[in-house]
Amino acid sequence: MSAKKLLTEIPAARWGVLILASFIMATNYYFYDLLAPIQDLVRINLGFSASDYGLVMSAYAFPNVFLAMAIIGGIILDRMGIRITGFSFIFLMGIGGALTAYAASSTFLGGGFGYNFLNSFLTSYTPQLKLMIFGFFLFGLGAETSIVVLSKIIVKWFKGKEIALALGLNLAIGRLGAALAFTLSPRLVHPEWTTAIYFGVLLLWIGLLGFIIYMLIDTKVDRQVTIDLKDPEDEFKLSDLKDLVTNRSVIYITLLCVTFYSAVFPFLKFAPDLLMNKYSMPRQMAGDVTSYLFYGTMILTPLFGWFTDHRGRSASIMYLGSGLLIIAHLMFALTQIEPRIPIVLLGIAFSLVPAAMWPAVTKIVPTAKLGTAYGFMFSVQNIGLFIFPYLIGFVVDSSNPNYRAAVDADQFEIVQQDNMQYKGSYLDRKDRPIANREILVNTVIFEDIISGSVVWNESHQVTTDAQGQFEIEIGNAETLLSADFSKLDDSFEYRAELTKTPKNEDEVVVYNNSFNRDENDVFVSLLPGGHEEMYEKTHRGIIRLYAPDGELVWEESTRFYVDPAGQFEIIMGQGRLAYANPDFFGITGQRFTAEVIKPLDYTNPMLVFSILGFFGLFFAYLLKRDDKTSGYGLELPNKVKE
């Protein structure tokens, strides 16, 4: 009788574990990037500045910079093992994500648990900012160590087998998670903008559930055989630091690493907002275009890795990638070129440099000190990821002191008396008019500007005159972004029209009668006879409300379920809004406050990224020059010919 086959020797089990571990990695990457494409909604609804947003992003790297989690996490992993370490740190990710979502919730903003306490100290910072910073700090505390755990899982299952392919696929799936964050978050802002955050939190907890499933598998593996994962090459040794910091090539490649990644990852946190402000892209398109960078690297990084393995030229490739980084950022800063072009260039640069840089370290540093070298580079890299998100946010704010015009209740009353006509100006940071510029102006009406209770949100496409002046009619915009259905005037008897919209078919009116809603804005009624085929099914449809004189008041696309008795229920305001008539929502008569938001100028922030690129190019040049004298062979193929 043959011995029972080990789980690690069964291909289906091995690749199944890879998929599970990679999915957990993808949930990490997804949450890390989900706020980037909805940054404008974070600012509007939470009252954040760009600096505040950058501070939240910097909180992620805080544990790695000041708590040395890149080192301590590995020590904990070696001492406590995969299961305990993985569960603990992935659980921290979930808690951090939940706190981040709670900070943005109406419950917390309305004075919920913890609000008064957080409002009792450091009062120059809002409670929601403090809680979101703490949430992202906990998320970062768990996220970085969890990546180490997941990588070690793959080593455990693939050591001596297809480990290079497995690690490459793991990274690719992780980056797919980041790409999906830019694609999905803008599409998940309905019915509430916080839905996008809640979805990311849900993924984190599903990832924790996935890890619990892995723990059960891992327990069975450990009963079969003990696998030694300790490798002296991976240990961080303080005694080796002296040798590293006195090696010029190590310093050059480390400085290239920190400047390069600081010009990419913080940029991605602001990229969708850049595209929305400078190029007037819709939010969904801005997220999609940004995601191209990740999709491109998933394909190009392995190709460039293959090239350096077989043809060499690692130093030249790092030099080329740094140059492309500069060109891309200067295009964003100084031109109006089609933005997909610099995004593609950035994607190529983001594939070139890592594909050449990380293997190059193995030629510069002795094998016994590789773990120390990678730990050192990773720690220095995180310093950049901590500093630059906040710095870029500060530069955005300081470059755009006039982009937000507050309209208090008295000023808004004057606008109402002037038939909702608002006259504004678009000025640069030196109060000079920005003349003859086509811009997208966002108008947000608040019931309570402190808590961010938005009643109405719309955007206008206008052109400034020679003095930088423009005029808009509030309530008559090219695009209506949101409206609070609870503010609908109840003094009218509205008529509801519900249509069914089957795929690739014309609308079919299934209800056309009176409209009544309860205190929760729920509309419940019965379908008339003749629609029995719709019973016990969910349908896509459009709900429209009409005033007694036939004027259209509201239109949104929605989904509704018809029960066995023919009754349907629709929660109004929870679908995708198409139209709302401002005359019926009080914005023309009730006392509100407002903000008129002009486009942010991203010239200076992009120049900062360009300067980082120049530094990276300089360090790549020094590295290439030092290679000629030190003889590391960075220009030679990585793969030794047999």
**Which pair of tokens denotes residue 256?**
């290239």
What is the average pLDDT across 626-632? 84
Task: Write the Ramachandran bin of 102: left for phi over 0, alpha for psi from -120 to 50, otherwise beta.
Answer: alpha
Of the pLDDT bands very low, low, confident and very high (cuts 50, 70, 90), residue 230 is low
pLDDT at 619 (0 to 100): 94
pLDDT at 545 (0 to 100): 97
The answer to whether the CB of 35 falls within 8 A of the CB of 43 is no
The answer to whether the CB of 147 falls within 8 A of the CB of 25 is yes
Of the pLDDT bands very low, low, confident and very high (cuts 50, 70, 90), residue 219 is confident
Q: Which of 223-237, 240-254, 419-433, 500-514 has the lowest mean pLDDT?
A: 223-237
pLDDT at 2 (0 to 100): 47
How far is Cα 414 from Cα 207, in angstroms, rounded to an integer?
Answer: 52
Higher pLDDT, 241 or 120: 120
Q: Which of 216-220, 318-322, 512-516, 588-592 has the lowest mean pLDDT?
A: 216-220
Cβ atoms within 10 A of the Cβ of 606, count? Answer: 24
**Residue/partner pairs of 174-177 with CB below 8 Å, 24 or more apart:** 174/22, 174/25, 174/26, 174/28, 174/29, 175/29, 175/294, 175/297, 175/298, 176/26, 176/294, 176/298, 177/25, 177/26, 177/27, 177/28, 177/29, 177/30
Q: Which of 98-107, 160-169, 222-231, 321-330 has the lowest mean pLDDT?
A: 222-231
Amino acid at 511: Y
What is the average pLDDT across 432-451? 87
Percentage of the chain surpassing pLDDT 70? 92
Of the pLDDT bands very low, low, confident and very high (cuts 50, 70, 90), residue 238 is low
Of the pLDDT bands very low, low, confident and very high (cuts 50, 70, 90), residue 154 is confident
**Which pair of tokens denotes residue 524?**
């419940």
DSSP states of 169-214: HHHHHHHHHHHHHHHHGGGG-SS-TTHHHHHHHHHHHHHHHHHHHH
The answer to whether the CB of 311 falls within 8 A of the CB of 296 is no
How far is Cα 240 from Cα 248, in angstroms, rounded to an integer?
Answer: 15
Cβ atoms within 10 A of the Cβ of 559, count? Answer: 11
Rounded to the nearest 10 degrees, how much is the dihedral formed by the CA atoms of 309, 315, 316, 317?
Answer: 60
**Tens of pLDDT, residues 67-92:** 777 667 767 776 777 888 889 999 99
Q: Which of 12-16, 123-127, 281-285 has the lowest mean pLDDT?
A: 12-16
Q: Which of 382-391, 502-511, 520-529 has the lowest mean pLDDT?
A: 502-511
What is the C-alpha radius of gyration for the chain, rounded to an integer number of angstroms?
A: 28
Helices (H) and strands (E) in the chain, counts: 19, 14
**Tens of pLDDT, residues 525-550:** 999 988 899 999 999 999 999 999 99
**Tens of pLDDT, residues 118-143:** 999 998 899 999 999 999 999 999 98
How far is Cα 242 from Cα 284, in angstroms, rounded to an integer?
Answer: 49
pLDDT at 1 (0 to 100): 41
**Tens of pLDDT, residues 544-594:** 999 999 999 999 999 999 999 999 999 999 888 999 999 999 999 889 999
pLDDT at 241 (0 to 100): 67
Q: Using the predicted structure, report yes or no on whether residue 642 has a pLDDT greater than 60.
A: no
Q: Which domains does the chain have, with CATH numbers?
A: 7-230 (1.20.1250.20), 234-400+601-642 (1.20.1250.20), 404-484+590-597 (no CATH), 487-584 (2.30.110)
DSSP states of 365-424: S-GGGHHHHHHHHHHHHHHHHHHHHHHHHHHHHHH-TTSEEEE-HHHHHHHHHTTTEEEE
Mean pLDDT of the chain: 88
What sign has the CA pseudo-torsion 82, 234, 348, 620?
positive
Q: Which of 192-201, 452-461, 538-547 has the lowest mean pLDDT?
A: 452-461
Q: Using the predicted structure, report yes or no on whether residue 200 has a pLDDT greater than 80.
A: yes
Amino acid at 270: F
What is the average pLDDT across 470-477? 94
Q: Using the predicted structure, report yes or no on whether residue 7 has a pLDDT greater than 80.
A: no
DSSP states of 354-373: HHHHHHHHHHHS-GGGHHHH
pLDDT at 102 (0 to 100): 96
Q: Residue 339: which of 282, 392, 286, 268 has the closest Cα?
A: 286
Q: Using the predicted structure, report yes or no on whether residue 37 has a pLDDT greater than 50.
A: yes
